[in-house]
Amino acid sequence: MVFVSHANPEDNDFTRWLALQLGKDGYPVWCDLTKLLGGENFWKDAEEAIRTRTIKFLYVLSRWSNKKDGPRNELQIAKNVARQERSLHDFIIPLHVDDLPHTEINVLLTSINAIPFENSWAKGYAQLVELFEREQVPKHSNFNPAAVSSWWREQFSAERGLKHEPDTYLSNLLPIKSTPQSLWLHTLARSTPGAVQPEHRLAYAGFMDGIDLVAFSSTDDVKAALGEAVSLVESRAFPVREVIEGKSQLEAKKGRYFLSRLIKECWERWVGATSLGTYSLSNRATCYFFKKGDQPNFDIHFRNPEGKQTYRSVVGYATQLDGSRRYWHFGVQARPVFSPFLGLLLSAHVIFTSDGSTPWPSHSKMHSARRRQCKTWFNAQWRDRLLATLHWLSQGATALCIPAGTDAFIEASARPEQFESEISYVDPATKKERLLLAEMEQISIELVEEEDVDEESDDEDDFGEDDNMD
């Protein structure tokens, strides 16, 4: 069989998905999360299973499994088996599932190529199955789609999961409703030695491309920033609509680059002028986050997609063992996209500070804190914090009005785009919900048993006509 080793509970979601995929495709799999799937309950001891029954040992390689004793011990056993049984080719197969740097990988795995799952589970799985087919890993009839379906119903009930019913989903994409009519290229010249660029900061977004200043700003907006040594040779306007469609006199790719960079700079200038803090992400993108005010928490009241007035915290804290506070701050990053339409794609981030305003300098420390803080945040929490942020930025209006020049604005919707799906999904029941359901079923059984006794009673006159109607 195929043995799946993982960190519990940190990597449970991926591991459960992987085990069910393997089971569906006929591969006999042992995983502590899917016991009884396909009849593997005879595996009582993990060590015995690895030593005597395993043909492939899959190691879910993550930041957590890389340091936890449980999976590391199973890996050591598998390594010993691989040394003893020389005929087991590619016995240990690491599956790289997160951003664990290769320089930090367990020394037992440094000489083994890992299958990449961190960017796409589907692509990683396809590569794994290709290896299984090449190695002729045997399948077993007990493992099939019906067994997986049966296991799922027993665990989560048949009413959970995918349903062939339409549903509406809220995205993180803000449609841009309008832009300045023109994108300008202002050709500059300099009368003294030095760089050909404005001598003063532009009032609005703009950047140099050779000797051309690219901006949404018209000639009058630009002249004030040029200085004495820099002069304006000519100005050319390109309709933004034609640039988006690739029909302007600018080369299509270059035109979109100009437009994308300008929109991004307009956003950053606008958001940067607020009270939000800034943080440079590991990919050098800029994230804007809420700072702590006079109170340790920062709550924003807004109306959720269901129309209910509610609130979410965008700043909070956790008390450390030494009594100090570790503050978390919700933040957003935005970048322009052209598909499926021109819009701002928002990404949510969580930043950590010790004083409520100064981000930690270590990206790795920030990552570890984020995993601990946000492990219980589900879609609704992320969605609502994003909506609260947009409500704050728009001051309750329906649109974000971002300055791009004198009397020129980028208007983006303050409500993310909704998409219609032909299928819907019902989340699996939580442990608490399953316990409650079991209690309700038990009560239902007891009531049915009592009713059966009444129906078998000889006292047929106990119920009058009105009672029967009720």
| DSSP characters over 187-252 | EEEESSSS-SS-SS--SS-EEEETTEEEES--HHHHHHHH-SSEEEEEEEEEEHHHHHHT-SSS-H
CATH number for the domain harbouring residue 117: 3.40.50
Residues 382 and 413 in one domain: yes
In this prediction, what percent of the chain has a pLDDT beyond 90? 61
Confidence of residue 443 (pLDDT cuts 50, 70, 90): low
Q: In this structure, is residue 427 part of a structural domain?
A: no
Which of 263, 282, 306 is the C-terminal boundary of a domain? 263
CA gap 396, 392 in Å, rounded: 7
Domain co-membership, 276 together with 414: yes
CB atoms closer than 10 angstroms to residue 61:
29
**Residue 215 — very low, low, confident or very high, per pLDDT cuts 50/70/90?**
very high
Residues 332 and 212 in one domain: no
Condensed to tens digits (0 to 9), the pLDDT of residues 361-385 reads 998 899 889 988 998 898 889 999 9
Instruction: For residue 7, name the pLDDT band (cuts at 50, 70, 90).
Output: very high
Token pair 């995983």: residue: 31
Please indicate, yes or no, whether residues 9 and 128 belong to a single structural domain of this protein: yes
pLDDT, mean over the chain: 86
- For 146, the domain range is 2-156
The most confident of 202-211, 316-325, 443-452, by mean pLDDT = 202-211
Tens digit of pLDDT for each residue in 163-182? 788 988 899 999 999 999 99
Residue 102 pLDDT class (50, 70, 90 cuts): confident
Q: What is the pLDDT of residues 243-299, one digit of tens each?
A: 999 999 999 999 999 999 999 999 999 999 999 999 998 888 999 999 998 777 899
> What confidence score (pLDDT) does residue 39 get?
45
For residue 95, the surrounding DSSP H or E stretch is strand 92-96
Choose among 30, 24, 21, 20: nearest CA to 144: 24
337 plus 197 within the same structural domain: no
**Whether residue 247 sits in one domain with residue 187:** yes
Does the residue 466 lie in any domain? no
> Do the domain assignments include residue 278?
yes
Same domain? 259 vs 281:
no
Q: Residue 467: what pLDDT?
A: 34
Per the domain annotation, does 111 fall within a domain? yes
Per-position DSSP letters for 363-405, written without gaps between them = HHHHHHHHHHHHTT--HHHHHHHHHHHHHHHHTT-SEEEEEEE
Q: Are 161 and 417 in contact (CB under 8 A)?
A: no
pLDDT in tens, 71-84: 999 999 999 998 88
Q: What's the pTM value of the predicted model, to 2 decimals?
A: 0.66
CA nearest neighbour of 414 among 429, 430, 395, 432: 395
Do residues 245 and 139 both lie within one domain? no
Assigned domain for 443 exists: no
Chain centre to alpha carbon of residue 228: 50
The domain boundary residue, chosen from 211, 242, 263: 263
What pLDDT, on the 0 to 100 scale, is given for residue 231? 94
Name the 3-class secondary structure at 60: strand
Within a domain: residue 201?
yes
Residue 208 lies in a domain: yes
> Are residues 34 and 150 both part of a single domain?
yes
Least confident range from 41-55, 87-101, 243-257, 311-325: namely 41-55
Q: Are residues 396 and 289 in the same domain?
A: yes
Alpha carbon of 54 to those of 39, 90, 94: distances in Å? 15, 12, 15
pLDDT of 81 reads 92
Number of domains comprising the chain: 3
Is residue 455 a part of any domain in this protein? no
Q: Is 288 in the same domain as 246? A: no
Separation of alpha carbons 328 and 317, rounded Å? 6
One domain, residues 131 and 193: no
The whole-angstrom separation of Cα 288 and Cα 268 is 9
